[in-house]
A = this chain, B = another copy of it.
Amino acid sequence: MGPRVLIVEDEEPLMLLLRYNLEAEGYEVDSVSRGDEAEIRLREQIPDIVLLDWMLPGLSGIELCRRIRARSETERLPVIMLTARGEEGDRIRGLSTGADDYIVKPFSVPELLARVRALLRRTKPAYIATLLRAGDIELDRETHRVRRAGQELHLGPTEFRLLEFLMQSPGRVFSREHLLNAVWGHDVYIDERTVDVHVGRLRKAIGLPRKPDPIRTVRGAGYSFDETFAREDQPLEA
């Protein structure tokens, strides 16, 4: 069972979008639409992370965040604030109320997921591996570096996210549609063939002279990170 997320958000569509994507990534999601409700919920069960809307009925996000910090049980509970676009002061204030991070609406889904992961990595490293390793490939989420056989590789941002996503579930086959959603974001309108191109670039970027291709094309279905490659015996660090 994945990390538990509590979403406190009154705009239902947004809440659902978040829920949908987080669940798809394996989180266990709970949600409430009012600040005061959230407070009650937090007495019953403490999640691993909270996504908190800035503007809320019942009890504002800022105030709720203060109260979270005030209770010893939730003192260190990771909180990400969802703020409306624009206000400069907001950012500062958001953090000064005790949020660990904030993100400005509207945001892209991969962006949010990345922040949730980043924060969890900082606070509950057990949940989120910072280093993905498979075969002779290492991807470090923190430093954004990728190495193969000890050698550092250069990947563009998209290639990096794509590889990260694929390595997250070795073996599993993802359709181009799914990849577009997960790597590019939901609202984008991009040709599915573009995925091919990026997979090609990724392949070129992580290809080494006589090393096998770790990315598997499944005709008619999509792509996957080859789990047989992933399971392969590690090269000795010699």
Known: A122-B24, A157-B220. A96 touches B143 (CB 8 A): no
Contact with B along A115-148 (1 / 0, CB 8 A): 0000000100000000000000000001110000
B-chain residues with CB within 8 Å of residue A156 when the two chains form the complex: 219-220
Contact with B along A17-41 (1 / 0, CB 8 A): 1001001100000000000000000
A227 to B13, CA, bound (A): 43
A23 with B122: CB separation less than 8 A: yes
A100 with B173: CB separation less than 8 A: no
B95 with A16: CB separation less than 8 A: yes
B-chain residues with CB within 8 Å of residue A89 when the two chains form the complex: 187
A157 with B221: CB separation less than 8 A: yes
A186 to B91, CA, bound (A): 8
A42 to chain B, nearest CB (A): 19
B-chain residues with CB within 8 Å of residue A173 when the two chains form the complex: 142-144
B-chain residues with CB within 8 Å of residue A17 when the two chains form the complex: 92, 95-96
B-chain residues with CB within 8 Å of residue A219 when the two chains form the complex: 156-157
A143 with B224: CB separation less than 8 A: yes
Chain A residues near B (Cβ < 8 Å): 12-14, 16-17, 20, 23-24, 69, 89, 91-92, 95-98, 100, 122, 142-144, 156-157, 171-173, 186-187, 218-221, 224, 227
Pairs A-B, 5 closest by C-beta atoms: A157-B220, A13-B96, A143-B171, A144-B173, A144-B218
Given A12-B96, A16-B97, A92-B186, 14 additional A-B pairs, CB 8 A = A13-B96, A13-B97, A16-B69, A16-B98, A24-B122, A92-B187, A143-B171, A143-B172, A143-B173, A144-B218, A144-B221, A144-B224, A157-B219, A157-B220
